[in-house]
Structure 1
Amino acid sequence: MTIALHYCHITVTDVDEALAFYRDALGLDLRNDVANGGFRWVTLGSPTEPGTEIVLSTPHAGRSQADGDALQDLLTKGILPMTVFSADDVDATFVRVAASGAEVLQEPVDQPWGPRDCAFRDPSGNTVRIQAAKK
């Protein structure tokens, strides 16, 4: 038996702003852009991982009003779980993402626990870390 990650959801305040970060700055490929019931789900992925997709959606997409409100509050506070990507060249990725105007939380550094990494906030306030790919 095998198991693999297929979808990972990232809640954002504005899907188009998020696309500018995840597609244009990080370089992920747009896979699907689906509207349904007044909401929109966008999936993106890396060409090196064709079976894994990130889903961008707003807090109320597919949720009750109360659940969407609660998720919106967490997003506004900036306390939703971070997303961690790996890159073969953290420093070059940092330069590209920083040039997009993304908020830099941490420049590339060799962490005491192992990987070289950096960190940004996406336009919705989510923390995104990028670490060196394992070799």
Structure 2
Amino acid sequence: MVKRRSSLMAGKPGQVTQRLGGTITVMVDGNLYRVDEQYAEALGLEPLVLPEVADLFADKAPTPELIEAAAWKVLGTCYDPEIPMDIVNLGLVYSCVCSKIDHGSFRLDVQMTVTAPGCGMGTLMCDEAREKLLKIPGVDQAR
């Protein structure tokens, strides 16, 4: 599995294999492609409205406890592209710890694994989790 940006040719037949957590997995010519939800209309799908991460705070200032709770919810929106189950319920996330870096700035340290040794989608899942975690208010680092 090589992670790279690709363009799918318009009109090329394909099959949506799953649509979860803000991404769409499409099979074209026997290959799986992960498509961000923002491109749903290009695939002939109605766009889904996903909840904003900021809504999890309900106008509260970020604290390590709120950020950790938000992080677990966010990680629950990250799905293995080949299995229609999120990485939290699959048991792939072992821990998620929030540390204060400085005033109003936090770091999330997540320990997780992949579904199988040599899993080609591992980097993709970790990158997706990191991108989503960095959208949590107050989080400046995620690893």
TM-score of the aligned structures, taking structure 2 as reference length = 0.33
Which of the two has higher C-alpha Rg? 2
Instruction: Return the structure number with greater relative CO, CA threshold 8 A, min gap 6.
Output: 1
Q: Per residue, is there more strand in 1 or in 2?
A: 1
How does the TM-score come out when normalised to structure 1?
Answer: 0.35
